[in-house]
Amino acid sequence: MQNKKDNFSEWYTEITKEAQLCDLRYNLKGFIVFMPWAVRTMKIMYGAYERELESRGHEPVLFPALIPEGNLSKESAHVEGFVPSVFWVTHAGREKLEERMAMRPTSETAMYPLYSLWIQGLSDLPLKLYQSCQVWRYETKATRPFIRSREFHWIEAHDVFATEAEAMAQVREDIEMTEKVVHSVFGIPVLFFKRPEWDKFPGAVATYAADTLMPDMRVLQLPSTHFLGQNFAKVFDIKYLDSEGKSKFAWQTCYGPAISRIYAALISVHGDDKGLIFPFDLAPVQIAIIPIYAKGNEEKVNKYCSELASRLSSDGFRVKFDSGPQTPGYKFHEWEMKGVPIRIDVGGKELESGELTIARRDTGKKEKIKSNEKSLANHLRSLAPEILSNLKHLAEKSFSSHMHHAKSMQELESSLEKGGFVRVPFCSVSKEGESCAAKIKEKFGGDVRGTIYPEEPVPHGEKCVVCGELASCFVYVARQY
């Protein structure tokens, strides 16, 4: 494998091919085929997120993938933001459609016309729905498997409330979910930002997003949540009768964890020069059993391995007994590259001693353990949190070591060259500051990610790193995907 730290782009290309995560040969530019080794983990990731959403009162739905053009064009900021990236359906069979239909780039304009019918009074609120689906956007930038493509897989939650306070509480809850799932379950460190005015979700009042760092120290945006205010409610006539019988517009939020993109972060942040490393609970195969033969013991070793695999499967583990013709060394390398957390080696010595050799992918450490059914299963379960804790520690250590500070354009430039986030005093994250952000982008290729959330103290007496005006906030700058 390539050196991940120094040649991340090449490493990423190599691992997605060698581990058979996707196939790029689908003959439509920007579209890829996700392969079983990736999809099996992505399904687990979907499950983790769906359980968290449902535990907080969200219900699952599935809306059509096609959106009438009239729906999409109702909210002016929304249509301006998304129409340039829309795929349009213009024909059905040989017939030209009277109205074009958009392949959903996101589902506000598909779902909210129905919300206006479903919501009548306070008893219908809050309404908290989500769907796990695909969306399509005509990305004009270079596509990259899982990171950026023209079709991606995500979850989108769309919530409606009677009051602004309830909607903002949902925004904070979305941020809590991101921390709980992306960081605590997947082991990916993030920073939360309130995006500047010029980088909001089209049609939103405010956007909050989680950013992580990839191994080349470029930023990748992960889940974002949006306070929509009453913008869409007024366009789609989403009203309710309050306790006094008065008709009022509702308040809304939406939240979008892109599972395929989070998967890109998962494999990139935790992988190493040997290949993938999965947290135990997310691995497609958690335990690989490798037989080590000596002349004349093949049948006995195979029988033992087969029984062991069956027993561990019954205990709830995802197990693969690799009985293929390749050498043990080849199999060690293969399962190591594919990120299987635990390898169990079984040969003549293990049969005689009643002990098994267990190797951990994250540390490379080996240990012996008795093959007694209960003690083995319990020990393997105990390794799961240890593996996740170790991977989180390594990821957080790298993440925190790439936080920089700058007070001048020269310092900003040198810090960006090191990679990671650079904290700088800045004039304003309202529209007035957009020209300063544009200069940073033009000169250094850095993007203003926004202000940290929850808010940190404002600068005292410091000047904007670009224009020299009195700074009203600290923003974080990074180079992004």
pLDDT confidence of residue 79: 78
Tokens found for residue 240? 């309710």
- Domain 404-478, what fold? Translation Initiation Factor IF3 (3.30.110)
Give 455 or 197, the one with higher predicted confidence. Answer: 197
DSSP code per residue over 50-68: HHHHHHTT-EE----SEEE
Residue 302 has a CB neighbour count (10 Å cut-off) of: 15
CA distance 306 to 72: 56
Per the listing, tokens 């049969």 go with 351
pLDDT confidence of residue 140: 72
The CATH superfamily label for domain 8-270 reads Bira Bifunctional Protein; Domain 2 (3.30.930.10)
Residue 125: in which H helix or E strand, if any?
A: none
Q: Convert the pLDDT of each residue in 378-413 to its tens digit.
A: 999 999 999 999 999 999 999 999 999 999 999 999
Task: Report in angstroms the alpha-carbon separations of 255 from 62, 170, 446.
Answer: 16, 9, 26
Task: Over range 276-299, report the average pLDDT.
Answer: 95
Q: Domain ranges for the chain, please list them.
A: 8-270, 280-383, 404-478
pLDDT confidence of residue 331: 97
Give the pTM. 0.95
Q: Convert the pLDDT of each residue in 460-472 to its tens digit.
A: 999 999 999 999 9
With a CB cutoff of 8 Å and minimum separation 6, the contacts of 93 are none
Identical fold between 8-270 and 404-478:
no
- Looking from the CA of 337 toward its CB, the CA atoms found within 13 Å total 18
Task: Over range 6-15, report the average pLDDT.
Answer: 96
pLDDT confidence of residue 76: 78
Confidence band for 77, pLDDT divided at 50, 70 and 90:
confident
Percent of the chain residues topping a pLDDT of 70: 100
Q: Convert the pLDDT of each residue in 105-164 to its tens digit.
A: 999 999 999 999 999 999 999 999 999 999 999 987 767 899 999 999 999 999 999 999
**CATH among 3.40.50.800, 2.102.10.10, 3.30.530.20, 3.40.630.10 for 280-383:** 3.40.50.800
Q: Convert the pLDDT of each residue in 20-30 to its tens digit.
A: 999 999 999 98
For 255-285, b where at least 16 C-beta lie within 10 A, e where not — what string?
Answer: bbbbbbbbbbbbbbbbbbeebbbbbbbbbbb
pLDDT confidence of residue 455: 85
What's the farthest any 2 CA atoms get from each other in the chain?
86
CA distance 8 to 13: 9
Confidence band for 363, pLDDT divided at 50, 70 and 90:
very high
pLDDT confidence of residue 106: 94
pLDDT at 169 > cutoff 90: yes
pLDDT confidence of residue 143: 75
pLDDT confidence of residue 456: 86
23-32, 206-215, 438-447: least confident range:
23-32
